Structure 1
Amino acid sequence: MKIRSWLKEERKGKINLAKQYDVIIIGAGPGGMTAALYASRANLSVLILDRGVYGGQMNNTAEVENYPGFKSILGPDLAKKMYDSALQFDAQYAYGTVQSIDVSDEGLKTIRTDSDVFETNALIIATGSQYKKLGIPGEEKYSGRGVSYCAVCDGAFFRDRDVAVVGGGDSAIEEGSYLAQMVKNVNVIHRRDQLRAQKILQERAFQNSKINFTWNTIVIQIEGDGQKVTGVKIHNKKTGVDEVMPVSGVFIYIGLLPMTETVTHLGITDEQGWIITNDKMETSVPGIFAVGDVRKKDLRQIATAVGDGSVAGQEAFNYLESLKDIQRS
């Protein structure tokens, strides 16, 4: 059953002008695009909705070297290859910020964006996650004026200057190593006495003479001259000493938050907001699936998102087939 866009039908005495698809996917990261590939290849009408450019956080990654099939590839280049692949079987792509998602008693999902209304029986949530903020004085004031969450986007503005990277996980160390190619010095500030990043990333960073480490320390304020960042005020948790580290830029990588504001009312998230699924990517609401970084899981990588997407695309097809069986019985 292939549902036509702009389908007009009489429903309970009212004309329905919603755009209808077999499968709607919210989010165009690696998980969402893979789900679109699998669902559209099964001859389903598929719409991918995203509020920005396709690729998600791949667009903020300078170099991907742990995705099978590529020894090394730029994040935006991998995003473009996935996008072209996702649309080869006539899946459609549309821009839109989702305002609400409602589920009828019959299981029909209605998605309202800032400009359109869509309906589907199978919904795949691939909205991903976003970087946490420190929540300290100066962070909001100097956002975009020295405070950044994306080294690939903003690193070139700090060429030959000193910068700070806050965090100790994979993202912090990967982006710190990227920044070291262009800035004068990278000062990694970490609240613990050892990193959480993968060992291979740690080894590269420790061997880089332009990367320095400040341990057992937190940033308590971002300072500036009113126009741009001039330094960070840091607090050593062991000595209790506060000091100001002069830097021109601050790159913050302290963890992720799920982007699930529009689905929490559906009862499919845990207390932190991560979506709970089974191994078929099914949530507790029939016909709603979740993939990628928005799921509650341990490893959030491009490869795992792609795996999630392939499962969800196939399971969406199976779900729609089960609805046909019910209708025939």
Structure 2
Amino acid sequence: MVDEEHELTIIGAGPGGLSAVIYGERSGLETIILEEKTAGGMAAEAPLVDNYPGLEEIKGVELMGRMKKHARKYTEIRELHPVRKIEKGDSIFVETDEKTYATDALIIATGTDHRKLNVPGEDSLEGKGVSYCATCDGYFFKNRSVLVVGGGNTALADATYLLNLGCDVTLIHRRNELRAEKALQEGFLEGGGRVIWNSVLEGIEGDETVQKVRLRDLKEDTESKMEVDGVFVSIGEYPRSELASDIGVELDDSGYIKTDEKQRTNIPRVYAAGDVTGGTKQIVVACAEGAIAALSAYEDVRNPYWVK
């Protein structure tokens, strides 16, 4: 049974999804957006965004709060509303625990999720010293020792954020050089951060909270232990593309959704935007893709040329 019908339904309220709301409604499509958690996506976790045009320095959570407020001018954002299933027939049907939505067009903007280390102690101590979000949990480790795992831009941004909070920060990286931008590396090292090179984290130990970690030096093939109060894992993300895959949307070898230059997938009237499409993972890019996807949906719904 269909509970609601919409011209355009968007799954995911990160930068891509929120941008799609604005462009979808402004083009004249009756639009709804569904979000599993709270609006903002992983962009809200960014300690500082200093490359979004027109906003020299802004916290990720503040930027996403502005986007959320803007999108709400046009339609309701249904948060804590996870999508369980998508079916494609004459219409597209989107099922949640509460309702089934029929829609003429669908934009998938489900983003990515944090990649895990899959080492002993990681799952059992998650939320007890193991974290994937420095801006969410960093405050609790003020004046305490933490280990950040990773070597890219996000890892260095997280590590620097923790330093600025007053944490004693050590970064561990499996190679002898970092992948992050030079400015981020310099900021971390000049701020007093330390790096353990050519090493990996092999286990996390603690009774009720994190107490120590097991490390392996890959160059010397030796193991050591280090006492820490927290572990922040920042080793990248994986695409949340399962819903798309279930209806036959084509994915690349890494699981990201394939789209054309208009954000169309291989399934008629199904589009994708944001980090779930891979490529350059930047807030401004996700916003652009969301806008393009919504305008493509308008073209196809109002001036259809796809064969249903």
TM-score (norm 2): 0.96
Amino acid at match of 1:65: D
* Alignment length (residue pairs): 306
- Deviations along 1:203-231, one digit per CA (max 9) or x if unpaired, are 2112121x10001100000011x111011
SS at match of 1:229: coil
- 1:283 aligned residue: 265
- 1:21 aligned residue: 6
Identity among equivalent positions (%) equals: 37
Amino acid at match of 2:78: A
- 1:100 aligned residue: 85
After TM superposition, give the deviation of residue 139 of structure 1 in Å: 0.2
Q: Following the alignment from structure 2 to structure 1, what is the Cα–Cα distance between the partners of residues 87 and 152? A: 37
In 2, are the aligned partners of 1:163 and 1:183 still within 8 Å (CA)? no
Work out whether 1:218 is the aligned partner of 2:200: yes
In 1, are the aligned partners of 2:268 and 2:307 still within 8 Å (CA)? no
Work out whether 1:296 is the aligned partner of 2:278: yes
In 2, are the aligned partners of 1:149 and 1:252 still within 8 Å (CA)? yes
5+ residue gaps, structure 1 = 1-15
- 2:174 aligned residue: 191
After TM superposition, give the deviation of residue 323 of structure 1 in Å: 2.9
In 1, are the aligned partners of 2:157 and 2:184 still within 8 Å (CA)? yes
Amino acid at match of 1:238: K
Q: Alpha carbons of 1:114 and 1:326: their partners in 2 closer, same or farther (altered >3 Å)?
A: closer
- Deviations along 1:152-174, one digit per CA (max 9) or x if unpaired, are 11111111111000000111000
Q: Following the alignment from structure 2 to structure 1, what is the Cα–Cα distance between the partners of residues 175 and 230? A: 22
Q: Alpha carbons of 1:187 and 1:325: their partners in 2 closer, same or farther (altered >3 Å)?
A: closer
- 1:314 aligned residue: 295
5+ residue gaps, structure 2 = none
The structure having more radius of gyration, on CA atoms, is 1
Amino acid at match of 2:182: K
RMSD: 1.6
Q: Following the alignment from structure 1 to structure 2, what is the Cα–Cα distance between the partners of residues 291 and 162? A: 38
Work out whether 1:239 is the aligned partner of 2:239: no
Amino acid at match of 1:94: R
After TM superposition, give the deviation of residue 267 of structure 1 in Å: 2.6
SS at match of 1:118: strand
1:36 to 10, 16, 21: 21
- 1:265 aligned residue: 246
Residues 84-99 of structure 1 correspond to what in structure 2 (within 5 A)?
84-88=69-73, 90-95=74-79, 96-99=81-84
1:48 to 33, 57, 64: 33
Q: Following the alignment from structure 2 to structure 1, what is the Cα–Cα distance between the partners of residues 230 and 298? A: 48
After TM superposition, give the deviation of residue 97 of structure 1 in Å: 0.9
Amino acid at match of 1:151: A
Q: Alpha carbons of 1:326 and 1:230: their partners in 2 closer, same or farther (altered >3 Å)?
A: closer
SS at match of 1:122: strand
SS at match of 2:84: strand
- 1:137 aligned residue: 120
In 2, are the aligned partners of 1:277 and 1:296 still within 8 Å (CA)? no
Work out whether 1:64 is the aligned partner of 2:71: no
In 2, are the aligned partners of 1:155 and 1:182 still within 8 Å (CA)? yes
TM-score (norm 1): 0.90
Amino acid at match of 2:54: G
Q: Following the alignment from structure 2 to structure 1, what is the Cα–Cα distance between the partners of residues 30 and 167? A: 51
SS at match of 2:304: helix
Q: Following the alignment from structure 1 to structure 2, what is the Cα–Cα distance between the partners of residues 22 and 278? A: 21
Q: Following the alignment from structure 1 to structure 2, what is the Cα–Cα distance between the partners of residues 184 and 25? A: 39
- Deviations along 1:4-57, one digit per CA (max 9) or x if unpaired, are xxxxxxxxxxxx543111100000000100011001001111001001111111
Q: Following the alignment from structure 1 to structure 2, what is the Cα–Cα distance between the partners of residues 123 and 184? A: 44
